[in-house]
């Protein structure tokens, strides 16, 4: 994860889409930097202003008569087309997703809105209209794009989207075989869906680096540039291949390889159509990856990468339910770092953050494969152990205490860090039923017993 994504605030402010919060009567409360960059406004120009004032007249009427009523009635709307008026007077076509979020207590609800720049989509629709007028054959192009768009919009994961791309390309372009290669976080390509003949690298890297479709219309053209691939195509009874890059806002995200059983000549319209489908797929991929990052940031601690408090409670509830069903014990280990405050105060927050990251790494490498480690907050960590009685959990806790207490590189020896640990064990048939919150409290209390008894020790309790 890059430095720009180390906090939810950074991702909110600089995400690939605009974000805004509105009151339920449509007044703007907050906007992110992306929205301000797109529209040319300053935040002070928008906060406290009715959202409707940013819309063209036609969009104002639609928002008042359709968008807001449906949103307030159903609680959410997706992909509503609205045209914004920018600070310089130009129009910005957008697609808007909104959801009504209830506030705690008596606070009024908020409308949280994601705004997507639909300029490319508008250009695509304009190109589509032109192609309809040019030839009757373009009707098939329309069907290809519509089927692809429908399949891509309904995809909620990279796996589903990759399969949808395979099907769209196979049926839309009569390809004998299709392979979708997507980049990972390091930029390397990996097969996400479909099949590719053999394992030899072909035109995918060329397409990815040039951001242009590579066309090899027959096996001779393949052999001139990729001799080994030509032999593999011959074995698979394939003749031609195209490689179409996937990219969004200048960032490469993958390549679609289409293989054909016969030599093919590709005119400009055919390549344009493949690239149009690839653009739709690229936008959908950016949406899916953004959603995945948002979901991860909501469930994992951004500093350490461990499960956060919200996810820990879910995992503990699942562990207790499994234990109740299988009659196995569930243990919760609660760690509080001794000496961390001194490191943080005297060596600074950078050193303190390094200690927390190192402790998280040691926890991950020490716990059992089935255990779940998380950061509860501050310098407190938690480990959930399924199928662990008090002896097994105490043994895990002691191993954790040993690794936490080992010297940390970059931290002077006089700044020692150790762990006061509390263990709470629930055993079905012996213990009464217990809630996750109750088990957290018991483990926390046991941890404070360790801390008050001299620190750097373990205290275990069994739920009565």
Residue keyed to tokens 């409308």: 111
Q: What is the DSSP code string of 100-150?
A: EEPPSTTPPPEEEEEEEE-HHHHHHHHHHHHHHHH-TTHHHHHHHHHHHHH
Task: Please spell the DSSP secondary structure of 199-256, one letter per residue.
Answer: S---THHHHHHHTS-EEE-SHHHHHHH-HHHHHHHHHTT--EEEEEEEEETTEEEEEE
Phi (first) and psi of residue 199, to 5 degrees: -125, 0
Question: For the chain, how are helix, strand and coil distributed in percent, rounded to 5?
Answer: 50, 25, 25
Task: State the distance between the two ends of the chain, measured CA to CA, in whole angstroms.
Answer: 43
Alpha-carbon dihedral 391, 392, 394, 398, rounded to 10 degrees: 130
Number of H helices, E strands in the chain: 17, 15
Residue matched to tokens 């739920």: 463
Is residue 12 exposed (0-12), middle (13-18) or buried (19+ Cβ within 10 Å)? Answer: middle
Cα 33 from Cα 15, distance rounded (Å): 9
Maximum Cα–Cα distance for the chain, whole Å? 85
CB 177 within 8 A of CB 238: yes
Place of tokens 């609660």: 334
Q: Is 268 helix (H, G, I), strand (E, B) or coil?
A: helix
Helix, strand or coil, per DSSP, at residue 447: helix
Which residue out of 120, 379, 391, 437 is catalytically annotated?
379
Give CA torsion, residues 353, 359, 361, 367, to 10 deg: -150
H or E element: which one contains 46?
helix 43-46
Structure tokens at 143: 């069907």
The answer to whether residue 379 is catalytic is yes
| Secondary structure in 3-state letters for 380-441 | EEEEEEECCCHHHHHHHHHHHHHHHHCCCCCCCCCCCCEEEEEEEEECECCECCCCHHHHHH
- By annotation, the residues acting in catalysis are 379
């Amino acid at each position: 994860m890059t430095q720009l994504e180390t906090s939810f605030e950074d991702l909110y402010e600089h995400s690939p889409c605009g974000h805004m919060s509105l009151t339920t009567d449509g007044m703007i409360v907050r906007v992110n930097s992306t929205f301000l960059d797109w529209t040319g406004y300053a935040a002070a120009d928008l906060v406290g202003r009715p959202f409707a004032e940013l819309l063209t007249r036609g969009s104002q009427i639609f928002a008042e008569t359709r968008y807001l009523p449906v949103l307030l009635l159903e609680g959410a709307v997706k992909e509503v087309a609205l045209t914004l008026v920018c600070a310089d007077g130009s129009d910005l076509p957008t697609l808007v997703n909104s959801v009504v979020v209830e506030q705690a207590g008596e606070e009024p609800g908020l409308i949280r809105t994601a705004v997507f720049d639909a300029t490319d989509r508008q250009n695509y629709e304009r190109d589509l209209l032109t192609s309809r007028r040019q030839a009757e054959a373009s009707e098939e192009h329309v069907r290809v794009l519509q089927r692809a768009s429908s399949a891509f919009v309904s995809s909620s994961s990279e796996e589903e989207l990759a399969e949808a791309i395979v099907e769209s390309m196979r049926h839309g372009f009569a390809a004998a075989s299709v392979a979708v290669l997507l980049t990972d976080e390091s930029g390397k390509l990996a097969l996400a869906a479909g099949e590719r003949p053999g394992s030899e690298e072909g035109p995918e890297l060329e397409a990815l680096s040039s951001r242009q479709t590579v066309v090899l219309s027959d096996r001779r053209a393949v052999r001139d540039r990729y001799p080994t691939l030509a032999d593999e195509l011959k074995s698979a009874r394939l003749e031609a291949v195209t490689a179409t890059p996937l990219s969004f806002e200048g960032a490469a995200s993958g390549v679609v390889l289409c293989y054909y059983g016969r030599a093919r000549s590709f005119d400009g319209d055919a390549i344009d159509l493949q690239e149009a489908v690839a653009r739709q797929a690229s936008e959908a991929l950016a949406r899916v990856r953004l959603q995945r990052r948002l979901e991860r940031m909501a469930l994992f601690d951004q500093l350490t990468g461990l499960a956060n408090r919200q996810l820990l409670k879910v995992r503990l509830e699942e562990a207790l339910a499994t234990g109740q069903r299988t009659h196995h014990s569930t243990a919760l280990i609660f760690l509080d770092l001794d000496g961390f405050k001194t490191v943080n105060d005297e060596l600074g927050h950078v050193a303190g953050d390094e200690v927390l990251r190192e402790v998280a790494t040691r926890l991950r490498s020490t716990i059992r494969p089935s255990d779940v480690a998380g950061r509860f907050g501050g310098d407190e960590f938690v480990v959930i152990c399924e199928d662990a009685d008090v002896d097994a959990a105490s043994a895990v806790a002691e191993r954790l205490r040993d690794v936490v207490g080992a010297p940390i590189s970059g931290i002077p020896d006089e700044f020692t860090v150790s762990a006061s640990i509390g263990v709470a064990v629930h055993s079905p048939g012996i213990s009464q039923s217990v809630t996750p919150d109750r088990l957290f409290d018991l483990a926390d209390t046991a941890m404070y017993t360790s801390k008050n008894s001299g620190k750097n020790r373990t205290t275990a309790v069994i739920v009565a």
